[in-house]
Structure 1
Amino acid sequence: MKPLRVLYVSPHAHLGGAERVTMDLLAQHDRSVVEPSVCFLHDGPLVAQCRDRLGLPTYTINAPPLRNVLQRRRAVRTIADLVETGEVDLVHSAMAWGHLYGGKAAREAGRPAVWFQHVGASWGSMIEAWASFVPARTIIANSEFTASGQRRVNPRRAKVEVIHPGTRIPAEPRAVRRARGREALGIASDEFAVGIAARLQRAKGQDVVIRAAASLLHARPHARLLIIGEGLFDADDSGSRLPQLAETLGVRDRVTFTGFRNDVSDCLAALDVAVHASTTPESFGLGLIEAMAAGTAVVAADGGAVREIVTPGVDGLITPPGDHEALATALLSLCDDPERRQSLAAEGAVTARERFDAVEMTLKVEELYQSLVPR
Structure 2
Amino acid sequence: MTKVLFLDQDYEYGGAQKVLLKTLEKLDRNKFEPCLITGFKGRLYTGLDDIQKKVIGIPETPFKLGRESIRVKNLLFAGFFSLVFLFRLIIEIKKSGPKLIYTNTVEMHLLGSLAGFISSTPVIWRVHDIMDSEAGFNNLSIKTIRFFSGLGKITALPVSGAVEESMIESSMKTKEIIKLYNGVEIDSNARGKSESKEPGITLGWMGRVTEMKNPEMFIRAALKILDKPGYPPLRFLIAGEALPEEAELLEKLKLLAGESKEIIFEGYVENTDKWLRQLDIFVHTSYIADSLPTSVMEAMSAGLAVIAADTGGVKEIINNRGCGIIYGPYDQDALEGAILSLLDNAKKRKELAKEGRQHIKRKFSEEIYMEKFQAILSSSLEQIKK
TM-score normalised over the length of structure 1? 0.89
Aligned equivalents of 1:157 and 1:92: distance in 2?
14
Tell me the residue number matched to 1:197: 206
Aligned equivalents of 2:276 and 2:142: distance in 1?
33
Aligned equivalents of 1:44 and 1:269: distance in 2?
26
Matched, 1:217 2:226: yes
Tell me the residue number matched to 2:98: 88
Tell me the residue number matched to 2:72: none
Counting matched residue pairs gives 359
Q: For the Cα contact (< 8 Å) 1:216–1:223, is it kept in 2? A: no
Aligned equivalents of 1:17 and 1:8: distance in 2?
16
- Partner-residue secondary structure (3-state), 2:178: strand
Residues 45-84 of structure 1 mapped to structure 2, 5 A cutoff: 45-50=43-48, 52=49, 55-64=50-59, 65-84=75-94
Query: Which range moved further: 302-311 or 229-238?
Result: 229-238
Query: Which range moved further: 158-167 or 344-353?
Result: 158-167
Q: For the Cα contact (< 8 Å) 2:24–2:34, is it kept in 1? A: yes
Residues 293-308 of structure 1 mapped to structure 2, 5 A cutoff: 293-308=301-316
Tell me the residue number matched to 1:5: 3
Tell me the residue number matched to 1:130: 144
Residues 100-139 of structure 1 mapped to structure 2, 5 A cutoff: 100-122=110-132, 124=138, 126-134=140-148, 135=151, 136-139=153-156
When residues 281 and 45 of structure 1 are mapped into structure 2, their CA distance, relative to the original with a 3 A threshold, is closer
- Partner-residue secondary structure (3-state), 1:237: helix
Aligned equivalents of 2:142 and 2:3: distance in 1?
27
Q: For the Cα contact (< 8 Å) 1:95–1:117, is it kept in 2? A: yes
Partner residue of 1:208 out of 194, 217, 226 = 217
Shift of the alpha carbon at 1:285?
A: 1.2
Question: 5+ residue gaps in structure 2?
Answer: 60-74
Q: Which amino acid aligns with 1:208?
A: M
When residues 125 and 164 of structure 1 are mapped into structure 2, their CA distance, relative to the original with a 3 A threshold, is farther
Shift of the alpha carbon at 1:166?
A: 1.2
Q: For the Cα contact (< 8 Å) 2:306–2:352, is it kept in 1? A: yes
**Cα deviations across residues 174-204 of structure 1 (Å, max 9, x unaligned)?**
37xx99xx8xxxxx71121111111111111
Shift of the alpha carbon at 1:269?
A: 1.9
- Partner-residue secondary structure (3-state), 2:277: helix
Partner residue of 1:143 out of 128, 149, 160 = 160
Q: Which amino acid aligns with 2:242?
A: G
Q: For the Cα contact (< 8 Å) 2:4–2:98, is it kept in 1? A: yes
CA RMSD of aligned residues (A): 2.2
- Partner-residue secondary structure (3-state), 2:77: coil
When residues 74 and 155 of structure 1 are mapped into structure 2, their CA distance, relative to the original with a 3 A threshold, is closer
Question: 5+ residue gaps in structure 1?
Answer: 183-187
When residues 334 and 173 of structure 1 are mapped into structure 2, their CA distance, relative to the original with a 3 A threshold, is closer
Aligned equivalents of 1:233 and 1:138: distance in 2?
34
**Cα deviations across residues 298-325 of structure 1 (Å, max 9, x unaligned)?**
0001121110010246000011112221
Aligned equivalents of 1:314 and 1:221: distance in 2?
25
**Cα deviations across residues 192-222 of structure 1 (Å, max 9, x unaligned)?**
1111111111111211111112232222251
Q: For the Cα contact (< 8 Å) 2:190–2:303, is it kept in 1? A: no
Q: For the Cα contact (< 8 Å) 1:6–1:92, is it kept in 2? A: yes
Tell me the residue number matched to 2:69: none
- Partner-residue secondary structure (3-state), 2:147: coil
Q: For the Cα contact (< 8 Å) 1:33–1:366, is it kept in 2? A: no
Aligned equivalents of 1:233 and 1:8: distance in 2?
26
Tell me the residue number matched to 1:316: 324
Q: Which amino acid aligns with 1:59?
A: K
Q: For the Cα contact (< 8 Å) 2:189–2:302, is it kept in 1? A: no
Shift of the alpha carbon at 1:331?
A: 0.9
Shift of the alpha carbon at 1:228?
A: 1.1
